[in-house]
Structure 1
Amino acid sequence: MSSPLQNRIEQAFAEFEQQKIAISGIERKIEAAKTTVTAKNRAVTVTVDGRGDLVEVKFPTNAYRTMPPAELGSLLVETTKAAREQAREGAAELFQTILPAGMPILDMLNGSVDFDEMMSEAMRAANEPFPGAASSPNRPEESR
């Protein structure tokens, strides 16, 4: 006969395995994804992979030939940036299916999240007692 604790452990493990499978599926979709953006003037088309890395640049018309180099360079940068943003938004949508609501997914994908600070905040929150809860025997009483 299994104990309630044993049942909870088995349930947690099963949920963990389901999350691993879901994450693997998301990783496969991101690996296979491609995002293509064409500039408004149709002078350049760029393609990025699911992680936002540039994989292809095309010039669908001859318009690039008459563009000043600085303008063409700027157009390439802007178009690539737009493609990367679309790729990140697509990846964020995939991750939203498995991550808790309210997670800053786009910020995480853009690299603008301080994970050390996020973990510190989570640890502080985990160590604070619930409002109205009695003090834990493992926690020293706060000075009053």
Structure 2
Amino acid sequence: MSDSMEKKLAEAMAELTAVQEAVARAEGELGQSSTTARSRDRAVEVTVGPQGELTGLKFPDNRHRSMTGPQLAASIMEAVQEGRSEMARKVMDVFEPLTRTTGRATGIRGIDIDWDRAFGSALDDGHGGGRRSSARLHDEIHED
């Protein structure tokens, strides 16, 4: 193997190691992360973990006591969706630097992440504020 080929291989291996270390740091940073969200009517507060899992549910000020079952269900769904969406954005922000092309001569690209596959319905619709069906349901209940 020529010296230039060995040099390119060593550079590629060093770059790969740096990417692996950056991914491990990002995973560590997110591992203990959570976000809290409330429904628009402020009746429900949820805490969502780094994988979009529900880790806490509260009913501040006991507003839920005057709600019907469908109203409360809609508020819970709205708060959970908002929390999952916020956490998905947080994860995307942490991993975004790793998705860029490095620009080095080794040709190693950034990590290719399929965000839709990773987060599914937790992501916004991508049209800048599109409303999810649970939010529309919530509005319909309040209109009655």
The two structures share one fold, judged by TM-score above 0.5 = yes
Q: Is the 8 A contact 1:89 1:106 kept in 2?
A: no
* Alpha-carbon separation, structure 2, partners of 1:64 and 1:31: 32
* Alpha-carbon separation, structure 2, partners of 1:21 and 1:111: 27
| Residue segments in structure 2 that go unaligned for 5+ positions in a row | 102-109, 122-144
| Residue segments in structure 1 that go unaligned for 5+ positions in a row | 113-144
1:36: how far off?
0.2
Q: Is the 8 A contact 1:96 1:105 kept in 2?
A: no
Percent identity over the alignment is 27
How many pairs were matched up?
A: 111
Aligned to 1:85: 85
Aligned to 2:41: 41
Q: Secondary structure at the match of 2:35?
A: strand
1:50: how far off?
1.2
Aligned to 1:137: none
Task: From 100, 103, 115, give the equivalent of 1:106.
Answer: 115
Q: Secondary structure at the match of 1:37?
A: strand
- Amino acid corresponding to residue 59 of structure 2 in structure 1: F
- Amino acid corresponding to residue 50 of structure 1 in structure 2: P
C-alpha distance after superposition, 1:76-126 (max 9, x if no partner): 0111001001100111111111113796653242248xxxxxxxxxxxxxx
Alignment of 1:6-45 (within 5 A): 6-45=6-45
TM-score, length basis structure 2: 0.70
Does 1:3 pair with 2:3? yes
TM-score, length basis structure 1: 0.70
* Richer in helix (by share): 2
Name the structure, 1 or 2, with higher relative contact order (CA <8 Å, separation 6+): 2
Aligned Cα root-mean-square deviation (Å): 2.1
Q: Is the 8 A contact 1:47 1:57 kept in 2?
A: yes
C-alpha distance after superposition, 1:46-97 (max 9, x if no partner): 0001111100001111110110011101110111001001100111111111
- Amino acid corresponding to residue 118 of structure 2 in structure 1: L
- Amino acid corresponding to residue 68 of structure 1 in structure 2: T
1:18: how far off?
0.3
Q: Is the 8 A contact 1:44 1:76 kept in 2?
A: yes
Q: Secondary structure at the match of 1:18?
A: helix
